[in-house]
Amino acid sequence: MMKFKNLFKKRILIPLALLGVFGAYTAETYIAFPTYPASDHYDAASGRFHNNPPSRAVAKVGLTAALWKMVFHERAMHPPRALPMQTPDWQAFFKPSEQAKFVWFGHSTLFVRLNGKTILIDPVYDNTPSPVGLMMHRFQPPPVALADLPPIDVVVYSHVHYDHLDSKVVEYFAQNQPNIQFITPLGVGEYLKKWGIAPHNIRELDWWQSVDLFGTTFHAVPARHDASRSLYDKNKSLWAGWVLQTPIEKIYYSGDSSYSPNFAEIGRRLGGFDWVFMENGQYNQPWEDSHMFPAQTIQAVLDVNAKRFVPVHWAAYPLSVHGWDESVRESAKIAAEKNVPMVTPIMGQVFDAQTQTEKWWETVK
Protein backbone atom coordinates (compact mmCIF):
# COMPACT_ATOMS: atom_id res chain seq x y z
CA MET A 1 0.00 0.00 0.00
CA MET A 2 2.79 2.44 0.93
CA LYS A 3 4.55 1.73 -2.35
CA PHE A 4 1.31 2.44 -4.23
CA LYS A 5 0.83 5.75 -2.39
CA ASN A 6 4.35 6.89 -3.26
CA LEU A 7 3.82 5.94 -6.88
CA PHE A 8 0.52 7.85 -6.91
CA LYS A 9 2.22 10.93 -5.50
CA LYS A 10 4.98 10.92 -8.09
CA ARG A 11 2.88 10.05 -11.14
CA ILE A 12 -0.36 11.88 -10.40
CA LEU A 13 -0.05 14.68 -7.86
CA ILE A 14 3.17 16.27 -9.11
CA PRO A 15 2.00 16.36 -12.76
CA LEU A 16 -1.27 17.93 -11.57
CA ALA A 17 0.67 20.56 -9.64
CA LEU A 18 2.79 21.29 -12.70
CA LEU A 19 -0.32 21.57 -14.86
CA GLY A 20 -1.58 24.19 -12.43
CA VAL A 21 1.63 26.16 -12.86
CA PHE A 22 1.49 25.91 -16.65
CA GLY A 23 -2.16 26.94 -16.60
CA ALA A 24 -1.25 30.05 -14.67
CA TYR A 25 1.55 30.76 -17.14
CA THR A 26 -0.90 30.70 -20.04
CA ALA A 27 -3.04 33.27 -18.24
CA GLU A 28 -0.28 35.87 -18.65
CA THR A 29 -1.26 38.32 -21.40
CA TYR A 30 0.47 37.69 -24.69
CA ILE A 31 3.11 40.26 -25.64
CA ALA A 32 4.26 41.00 -29.18
CA PHE A 33 8.01 41.59 -28.94
CA PRO A 34 9.99 43.53 -31.54
CA THR A 35 12.74 41.87 -33.52
CA TYR A 36 16.23 42.87 -32.40
CA PRO A 37 19.49 42.80 -34.40
CA ALA A 38 20.96 39.29 -34.69
CA SER A 39 23.92 38.65 -32.39
CA ASP A 40 25.86 35.87 -30.70
CA HIS A 41 23.08 35.72 -28.06
CA TYR A 42 19.98 36.53 -30.13
CA ASP A 43 18.39 34.62 -33.02
CA ALA A 44 16.35 37.05 -35.11
CA ALA A 45 14.51 34.24 -36.89
CA SER A 46 13.02 32.80 -33.70
CA GLY A 47 13.04 36.06 -31.80
CA ARG A 48 14.70 34.43 -28.79
CA PHE A 49 17.78 35.20 -26.76
CA HIS A 50 20.19 32.46 -25.70
CA ASN A 51 23.38 31.88 -23.79
CA ASN A 52 26.62 31.30 -25.63
CA PRO A 53 27.39 28.41 -25.46
CA PRO A 54 23.73 27.35 -25.10
CA SER A 55 22.42 26.40 -21.67
CA ARG A 56 22.00 22.76 -20.78
CA ALA A 57 18.44 21.54 -20.28
CA VAL A 58 17.19 21.14 -16.72
CA ALA A 59 18.15 17.62 -15.65
CA LYS A 60 15.19 15.30 -15.12
CA VAL A 61 17.09 13.29 -12.53
CA GLY A 62 16.20 14.75 -9.15
CA LEU A 63 13.80 17.36 -10.55
CA THR A 64 10.59 15.58 -9.56
CA ALA A 65 11.84 14.98 -6.02
CA ALA A 66 12.90 18.62 -5.70
CA LEU A 67 9.53 19.91 -6.92
CA TRP A 68 7.70 17.55 -4.58
CA LYS A 69 9.66 18.84 -1.61
CA MET A 70 9.18 22.47 -2.64
CA VAL A 71 5.40 22.01 -2.91
CA PHE A 72 4.59 19.66 -0.05
CA HIS A 73 7.48 20.16 2.41
CA GLU A 74 8.17 23.86 1.97
CA ARG A 75 8.31 24.60 5.70
CA ALA A 76 11.54 22.60 5.92
CA MET A 77 13.24 25.34 3.89
CA HIS A 78 11.90 28.20 6.04
CA PRO A 79 13.77 29.68 9.02
CA PRO A 80 12.53 28.56 12.45
CA ARG A 81 11.51 32.09 13.40
CA ALA A 82 11.29 35.59 11.98
CA LEU A 83 14.58 36.91 10.65
CA PRO A 84 16.08 40.04 12.23
CA MET A 85 15.03 43.15 10.36
CA GLN A 86 15.17 46.92 10.77
CA THR A 87 13.04 49.80 9.58
CA PRO A 88 15.45 51.77 7.37
CA ASP A 89 16.85 54.98 8.81
CA TRP A 90 15.92 57.06 5.78
CA GLN A 91 17.46 60.18 7.28
CA ALA A 92 20.84 58.42 7.37
CA PHE A 93 20.27 56.98 3.90
CA PHE A 94 19.56 60.39 2.37
CA LYS A 95 22.25 62.29 4.27
CA PRO A 96 24.64 63.75 1.67
CA SER A 97 27.74 61.62 1.16
CA GLU A 98 30.34 60.97 -1.50
CA GLN A 99 30.11 57.25 -0.78
CA ALA A 100 27.31 54.97 -1.92
CA LYS A 101 24.80 53.79 0.66
CA PHE A 102 22.58 50.73 0.50
CA VAL A 103 19.55 49.05 2.03
CA TRP A 104 18.93 45.36 1.31
CA PHE A 105 15.27 44.25 1.46
CA GLY A 106 16.00 40.51 1.24
CA HIS A 107 16.39 38.28 -1.83
CA SER A 108 17.69 40.56 -4.61
CA THR A 109 15.83 43.80 -3.83
CA LEU A 110 18.35 46.56 -3.19
CA PHE A 111 18.12 50.29 -2.55
CA VAL A 112 21.17 52.30 -3.65
CA ARG A 113 21.87 55.95 -2.84
CA LEU A 114 24.46 57.01 -5.38
CA ASN A 115 25.52 60.40 -6.69
CA GLY A 116 22.61 62.08 -4.94
CA LYS A 117 19.96 59.82 -6.52
CA THR A 118 17.94 56.85 -5.28
CA ILE A 119 18.13 53.65 -7.33
CA LEU A 120 16.02 50.56 -6.66
CA ILE A 121 17.09 47.20 -8.10
CA ASP A 122 14.70 44.28 -8.74
CA PRO A 123 11.94 45.32 -6.30
CA VAL A 124 9.70 42.38 -5.37
CA TYR A 125 6.94 42.41 -2.75
CA ASP A 126 4.81 39.43 -3.77
CA ASN A 127 4.05 36.77 -1.18
CA THR A 128 5.17 34.12 -3.65
CA PRO A 129 7.22 34.50 -6.85
CA SER A 130 5.34 31.57 -8.36
CA PRO A 131 2.52 32.21 -10.86
CA VAL A 132 0.32 30.12 -8.54
CA GLY A 133 0.43 29.97 -4.75
CA LEU A 134 1.58 26.37 -4.46
CA MET A 135 5.07 27.05 -3.14
CA MET A 136 7.92 29.54 -2.60
CA HIS A 137 6.13 31.60 0.05
CA ARG A 138 7.95 34.60 1.44
CA PHE A 139 9.48 34.15 4.89
CA GLN A 140 8.18 37.52 6.12
CA PRO A 141 7.09 40.92 4.71
CA PRO A 142 9.76 43.36 3.46
CA PRO A 143 11.15 45.96 5.88
CA VAL A 144 8.95 48.74 4.46
CA ALA A 145 5.45 48.61 3.00
CA LEU A 146 5.22 49.51 -0.67
CA ALA A 147 3.12 52.58 0.11
CA ASP A 148 5.78 53.83 2.55
CA LEU A 149 8.71 53.80 0.14
CA PRO A 150 10.54 57.12 -0.34
CA PRO A 151 10.74 58.87 -3.72
CA ILE A 152 12.74 56.84 -6.24
CA ASP A 153 14.66 58.19 -9.22
CA VAL A 154 15.60 55.00 -11.10
CA VAL A 155 14.41 51.39 -11.07
CA VAL A 156 16.69 48.76 -12.59
CA TYR A 157 15.57 45.25 -13.57
CA SER A 158 17.80 42.28 -14.35
CA HIS A 159 15.20 39.97 -15.97
CA VAL A 160 11.51 39.07 -15.94
CA HIS A 161 11.34 36.07 -13.60
CA TYR A 162 8.71 36.52 -10.90
CA ASP A 163 11.25 36.79 -8.08
CA HIS A 164 12.82 39.83 -9.79
CA LEU A 165 9.93 41.52 -11.61
CA ASP A 166 6.73 42.04 -9.60
CA SER A 167 3.87 43.33 -11.76
CA LYS A 168 2.00 44.78 -8.76
CA VAL A 169 5.04 46.88 -7.83
CA VAL A 170 5.31 48.17 -11.40
CA GLU A 171 1.62 49.08 -11.44
CA TYR A 172 2.00 50.86 -8.10
CA PHE A 173 4.92 52.92 -9.41
CA ALA A 174 3.00 53.76 -12.60
CA GLN A 175 0.19 55.21 -10.50
CA ASN A 176 2.09 56.73 -7.58
CA GLN A 177 5.59 57.62 -8.81
CA PRO A 178 5.05 58.16 -12.55
CA ASN A 179 8.35 59.99 -13.10
CA ILE A 180 10.61 57.05 -12.17
CA GLN A 181 13.10 56.17 -14.92
CA PHE A 182 13.39 52.45 -15.73
CA ILE A 183 16.53 50.74 -17.06
CA THR A 184 16.19 47.16 -18.28
CA PRO A 185 17.63 44.53 -20.61
CA LEU A 186 16.12 44.26 -24.09
CA GLY A 187 12.47 43.24 -24.13
CA VAL A 188 11.72 43.84 -20.44
CA GLY A 189 10.26 47.23 -21.27
CA GLU A 190 7.42 45.51 -23.14
CA TYR A 191 6.13 44.15 -19.81
CA LEU A 192 6.52 47.52 -18.12
CA LYS A 193 4.49 49.26 -20.80
CA LYS A 194 1.72 46.68 -20.41
CA TRP A 195 1.58 47.49 -16.69
CA GLY A 196 1.32 51.24 -17.17
CA ILE A 197 4.86 52.66 -17.47
CA ALA A 198 5.19 55.42 -20.07
CA PRO A 199 7.50 54.37 -22.95
CA HIS A 200 9.57 57.56 -22.66
CA ASN A 201 10.54 56.52 -19.09
CA ILE A 202 12.06 53.20 -20.23
CA ARG A 203 15.60 52.57 -21.48
CA GLU A 204 16.41 49.07 -22.75
CA LEU A 205 20.00 47.89 -23.23
CA ASP A 206 21.77 44.95 -24.81
CA TRP A 207 24.83 43.38 -23.17
CA TRP A 208 27.80 45.79 -23.13
CA GLN A 209 25.62 48.77 -23.89
CA SER A 210 25.45 51.68 -21.44
CA VAL A 211 23.40 54.76 -20.66
CA ASP A 212 24.22 57.86 -18.60
CA LEU A 213 21.53 59.03 -16.24
CA PHE A 214 21.76 61.56 -13.39
CA GLY A 215 25.57 61.45 -13.47
CA THR A 216 25.79 57.65 -13.21
CA THR A 217 26.67 55.30 -16.08
CA PHE A 218 24.61 52.10 -16.16
CA HIS A 219 26.33 49.24 -18.01
CA ALA A 220 24.38 46.11 -18.98
CA VAL A 221 26.69 43.09 -18.67
CA PRO A 222 26.23 39.42 -19.57
CA ALA A 223 24.69 36.83 -17.26
CA ARG A 224 24.14 33.12 -17.88
CA HIS A 225 20.47 32.58 -17.16
CA ASP A 226 17.09 32.69 -18.98
CA ALA A 227 13.81 34.59 -18.92
CA SER A 228 10.09 33.84 -19.10
CA ARG A 229 6.79 34.57 -17.39
CA SER A 230 4.47 32.42 -19.52
CA LEU A 231 4.38 29.62 -22.05
CA TYR A 232 4.62 32.18 -24.86
CA ASP A 233 7.57 34.34 -23.94
CA LYS A 234 10.48 32.00 -23.19
CA ASN A 235 13.70 33.96 -23.76
CA LYS A 236 11.87 36.66 -25.73
CA SER A 237 13.48 39.18 -23.38
CA LEU A 238 17.11 39.40 -22.29
CA TRP A 239 18.67 38.87 -18.84
CA ALA A 240 21.65 40.85 -17.55
CA GLY A 241 23.77 42.00 -14.67
CA TRP A 242 24.46 45.69 -14.08
CA VAL A 243 27.43 47.91 -13.37
CA LEU A 244 26.72 51.34 -11.85
CA GLN A 245 29.66 53.67 -12.33
CA THR A 246 30.41 57.20 -11.15
CA PRO A 247 33.76 59.05 -11.33
CA ILE A 248 34.64 57.71 -7.85
CA GLU A 249 32.81 54.35 -7.45
CA LYS A 250 31.89 51.17 -9.32
CA ILE A 251 29.15 48.81 -8.18
CA TYR A 252 28.33 45.44 -9.75
CA TYR A 253 25.03 43.62 -9.33
CA SER A 254 25.10 40.15 -10.88
CA GLY A 255 21.39 39.49 -11.34
CA ASP A 256 20.81 35.75 -11.68
CA SER A 257 23.54 33.69 -13.32
CA SER A 258 25.23 30.34 -13.29
CA TYR A 259 29.02 30.39 -13.22
CA SER A 260 30.64 31.17 -16.57
CA PRO A 261 33.57 32.99 -18.23
CA ASN A 262 31.32 36.07 -18.27
CA PHE A 263 32.60 37.04 -14.83
CA ALA A 264 36.24 37.07 -15.88
CA GLU A 265 35.31 39.15 -18.94
CA ILE A 266 33.38 41.62 -16.79
CA GLY A 267 36.41 41.81 -14.53
CA ARG A 268 38.73 42.54 -17.48
CA ARG A 269 36.50 45.20 -18.99
CA LEU A 270 35.06 46.96 -15.97
CA GLY A 271 36.48 45.31 -12.86
CA GLY A 272 38.02 46.69 -9.73
CA PHE A 273 34.62 47.07 -8.08
CA ASP A 274 34.06 48.85 -4.79
CA TRP A 275 30.97 46.71 -4.22
CA VAL A 276 29.75 43.44 -5.66
CA PHE A 277 26.24 42.13 -4.99
CA MET A 278 26.47 38.52 -6.14
CA GLU A 279 23.77 35.88 -6.39
CA ASN A 280 24.15 33.40 -3.53
CA GLY A 281 21.39 30.84 -3.23
CA GLN A 282 18.53 28.84 -4.78
CA TYR A 283 20.92 26.41 -6.49
CA ASN A 284 20.27 22.71 -7.12
CA GLN A 285 21.94 20.12 -9.32
CA PRO A 286 19.01 19.73 -11.76
CA TRP A 287 19.20 23.47 -12.60
CA GLU A 288 22.96 23.92 -12.26
CA ASP A 289 23.03 26.04 -15.42
CA SER A 290 20.78 28.69 -13.87
CA HIS A 291 22.28 29.44 -10.44
CA MET A 292 25.67 29.24 -8.74
CA PHE A 293 26.73 27.01 -5.88
CA PRO A 294 28.55 28.79 -3.00
CA ALA A 295 32.08 27.98 -4.19
CA GLN A 296 31.18 29.31 -7.64
CA THR A 297 29.77 32.50 -6.11
CA ILE A 298 33.07 33.21 -4.36
CA GLN A 299 35.04 32.42 -7.50
CA ALA A 300 32.85 34.83 -9.45
CA VAL A 301 33.59 37.53 -6.86
CA LEU A 302 37.29 36.89 -7.37
CA ASP A 303 36.88 36.94 -11.15
CA VAL A 304 35.36 40.43 -11.18
CA ASN A 305 38.00 41.82 -8.77
CA ALA A 306 35.89 43.09 -5.88
CA LYS A 307 36.88 45.03 -2.77
CA ARG A 308 33.85 43.75 -0.87
CA PHE A 309 31.05 41.27 -1.52
CA VAL A 310 27.41 41.23 -0.40
CA PRO A 311 25.46 37.97 -0.92
CA VAL A 312 21.99 38.42 -2.40
CA HIS A 313 19.26 36.12 -3.74
CA TRP A 314 18.63 34.59 -0.32
CA ALA A 315 16.73 35.11 2.99
CA ALA A 316 13.31 35.80 1.49
CA TYR A 317 11.97 32.91 -0.62
CA PRO A 318 12.62 29.12 -0.71
CA LEU A 319 13.30 28.66 -4.43
CA SER A 320 15.24 25.43 -3.96
CA VAL A 321 15.50 22.57 -1.47
CA HIS A 322 18.57 23.64 0.50
CA GLY A 323 18.31 25.15 3.96
CA TRP A 324 17.30 28.81 4.17
CA ASP A 325 20.81 29.85 5.33
CA GLU A 326 22.93 27.12 3.73
CA SER A 327 24.17 29.36 0.93
CA VAL A 328 25.42 32.15 3.21
CA ARG A 329 26.97 29.70 5.71
CA GLU A 330 28.94 28.02 2.96
CA SER A 331 29.88 31.24 1.19
CA ALA A 332 31.04 32.87 4.43
CA LYS A 333 33.34 29.93 5.13
CA ILE A 334 34.83 29.93 1.62
CA ALA A 335 35.14 33.73 1.57
CA ALA A 336 37.14 33.61 4.80
CA GLU A 337 39.43 30.92 3.39
CA LYS A 338 40.09 33.01 0.27
CA ASN A 339 40.34 36.38 2.08
CA VAL A 340 37.29 37.83 0.34
CA PRO A 341 35.78 40.68 2.42
CA MET A 342 32.09 39.82 2.94
CA VAL A 343 29.41 42.25 4.14
CA THR A 344 26.17 40.76 5.49
CA PRO A 345 23.67 43.44 6.51
CA ILE A 346 20.38 42.79 8.26
CA MET A 347 17.37 43.43 6.06
CA GLY A 348 16.45 47.11 6.28
CA GLN A 349 19.85 48.19 7.62
CA VAL A 350 21.46 51.24 6.01
CA PHE A 351 25.08 50.38 5.25
CA ASP A 352 28.14 51.79 3.52
CA ALA A 353 31.87 51.09 3.29
CA GLN A 354 32.36 51.82 7.01
CA THR A 355 29.61 49.51 8.26
CA GLN A 356 30.65 46.48 10.29
CA THR A 357 28.30 43.50 10.00
CA GLU A 358 27.96 40.15 11.76
CA LYS A 359 26.93 36.60 10.93
CA TRP A 360 23.41 37.34 12.11
CA TRP A 361 21.95 34.14 10.64
CA GLU A 362 23.80 32.17 13.32
CA THR A 363 21.45 33.65 15.94
CA VAL A 364 18.31 32.40 14.18
CA LYS A 365 17.54 29.20 16.07
Q: What is the pLDDT of residues 128-165, one digit of tens each?
A: 998 877 889 999 999 999 999 999 999 999 999 999 99
DSSP code of residue 279: E
Percent of the chain past pLDDT 70, that is, above it, reads 92
- Alpha helices (runs of H) in the chain, residue ranges in sequence order: 2-8, 14-26, 63-72, 90-94, 167-176, 188-194, 262-270, 294-304, 326-337
- For the chain, the domains span 90-363
| CA distance linking residue 119 with residue 32, whole number of Å | 29
Please check whether residue 243 is in contact with residue 205, taking contact to mean a CB–CB distance below 8 angstroms: no
pLDDT of residue 176: 98
Is the per-residue pLDDT at 26 higher than 80?
no
Mean pLDDT over 105-115 rounds to 98
Is the pLDDT at 310 greater than 60? The verdict is yes
Instruction: Write out pLDDT tens, residues 246-287.
Output: 999 999 999 999 999 999 999 999 999 999 999 999 999 888
- Rounded to an integer, the average pLDDT of 318-330 is 97
Query: How many residues are given for the chain?
Result: 365
What does the pLDDT look like over 181-215, one tens digit per residue?
A: 999 999 999 999 999 999 999 999 999 999 999 99
Phi, psi of 313 (to 5 degrees): 70, 40
pLDDT of residue 130: 82
**Mean pLDDT, to the nearest integer, of 72-84?**
96
| Amino acid 8: pLDDT | 45
Query: What does the pLDDT read at residue 89?
Result: 98
User: Is it the case that residue 32 has pLDDT exceeding 80?
Assistant: yes
pLDDT at 24 over 90: no
Question: What value does the mean pLDDT of the chain take?
Answer: 93
Q: What per-residue confidence (pLDDT) applies to 162?
A: 97
CA angle in degrees (0–180, nearest 5) for 274-158-88:
60
Question: Is pLDDT of 9 > 50?
Answer: no
Q: What CATH fold (topology level) applies to the domain 90-363?
A: Metallo-beta-lactamase; Chain A (3.60.15)
C-alpha pair distances (Å), 269 with each of 41, 184, 193: 19, 20, 32
User: What is the pLDDT confidence band of residue 18, given thresholds at 50, 70 and 90?
Assistant: low
Please, which pLDDT band fits residue 61 given cuts at 50, 70 and 90?
Answer: confident
Q: Which residues of 130-166 are buried (b: 16+ CB within 10 A; e: fewer)?
A: bbeebbbbbbeebbbeeeebeebbbbbbbbbbbbbbb
Q: What is the DSSP letter of 284?
A: -
| Chain segment 208-237, per-residue pLDDT in tens | 999 999 999 999 999 999 999 998 899 999
- The predicted pLDDT at position 21 comes to 54
pLDDT value, residue 7:
44
pLDDT at 5: 46
**Residues 6+ away with beta carbon under 8 Å from 8:** none
Give the integer Cα–Cα distance in Å for 62 and 284: 9
pLDDT for 4: 42
Most confident of 69-78, 122-131, 223-232, 295-304: 295-304
pLDDT of 27: 52
Q: What is the pLDDT of residue 62?
A: 85
Could you tell me what percent of the chain has a pLDDT over 90? Answer: 82
